[in-house]
Amino acid sequence: MRPARRTLPLALLLLASGATATSGEPPPEGDPYSRNGWYLAIGGYYQKEYSRDTCENGSTPGEGCVDGFRPDSSGGAAGHAGYRFHRYAAADLQFEWVKDALEDDFKESAYVTTLNLKAYLPWRRLQTFALVGGGYIRAPVPDRFEREINVENGIAFRFGGGFELYATEHWALLAETSWVQPLPLNDLDKVPYLSVGGGFQYRF
């Protein structure tokens, strides 16, 4: 748990240092959408979890209990706060809430905070990007033998991409897909998930 707690202060420090970079390549003349500057975003997300089925009372696999992964799904939300420090790059802090992680009857939420680095392929109003990030996860983990869960803390990585479609120089629609993969700490690697969603972004 200690390494996970140190992740957030380090993420904030790296984000602040990236925000001070002013030597990024300026956007082409007449292209304000790939300019340097701060941004905020918020939206709704759909998460598909891939969690292991569990066996009741340590019984052998049978009906409703299979060896492997079983897809599940949930609604949620996410927010971004970041800085575009180069025409082709940005860094942001992303917080994501997964409403019902694991199976529906558990009714436990998961929370993921990652520092992301984005690489852009800009085309005026359409700004496509790929991202990679890492940070903190708090999620419920199923017990292998009992029909119960434990809430654990750990480290997770995020890989994905998406696009920003600008209506004005300040407002854009955001669409994003990412895969969140926890490290194998406290059995958190049992609960990776795919996140698909979008919302609105404001550029300062």
Domain span holding position 133: 2-19+35-203
Query: 81: which residues sit within 8 A by CB, 6+ positions away?
Result: 38, 39, 40, 92, 93
What sign results for the dihedral spanned by CA atoms 46, 52, 58, 59?
positive
Name the helix (H) or strand (E) containing 83. strand 69-86
- DSSP bridge partners of 51: 70
174 in a domain, yes or no?
yes
The one-letter code for the residue type at 152 is E
φ/ψ region of 14 (left if φ > 0, alpha if ψ in -120 to 50, else beta) reads alpha
3-state class (DSSP) for residue 156 = strand
pLDDT digits (tens, 9 = 90+) for 41-54: 999 999 887 765 44
Q: Helix, strand, or coil here: 55?
A: coil
Report the range of poorest mean pLDDT among 5-19, 46-60, 64-78, 143-157.
Answer: 5-19
pLDDT band at 22 (very low <50, low <70, confident <90, very high): very low
Exposure string over 98-124, b if 16+ CB within 10 A, otherwise e: bebbbbeebebbbebbbbbbbebebee
The answer to whether residue 24 sits within a structural domain is no
Whether the CB-CB separation of 89 and 117 falls below 8 Å is answered with: yes
Mean pLDDT of 186-194: 82
25 assigned to some structural domain: no
Does some domain include residue 181? yes
pLDDT at position 64 is 42
Domain count, the chain: 1
Give me the percent of the chain exceeding a pLDDT of 90. 52
CA distance 60 to 57: 9
In the predicted structure, residue 23 carries a pLDDT above the cut 90: no
Confidence band for 178, pLDDT divided at 50, 70 and 90: very high
Q: What are 61-97's pLDDT values in tens digits?
A: 444 443 333 446 788 999 999 999 999 999 999 999 9
pLDDT of 136 above 80:
yes
- Give the pLDDT band (50/70/90) at residue 146: low
Distance CA 42, CA 195 (A): 14
Decide if pLDDT at 197 tops 70. Answer: yes
Which pLDDT score, from 0 to 100, does residue 204 have?
A: 96
> In this predicted structure, what is the pLDDT of residue 166?
97
Q: Looking at the domain assignment, is residue 176 inside a domain?
A: yes
Euclidean distance between CA atoms 124 and 101, whole angstroms: 38
Looking at residues 18-31, what average pLDDT do you find?
Answer: 55
More confident residue, 195 or 67: 195
Cα 193 from Cα 196, distance rounded (Å): 10
- How far is Cα 66 from Cα 53, in angstroms, rounded to an integer? 6
27 inside domain: no
- Report if residue 109 sits inside a domain: yes
In a domain, 29, yes or no: no
Q: What is the CATH number of the domain that holds 15?
A: 2.40.160.20
Nearest C-alpha neighbor of 160 from the set 171, 172, 175:
175
Q: How far apart are CA 43 and CA 198, in angstroms?
A: 5
Average model confidence (pLDDT) across the chain: 79
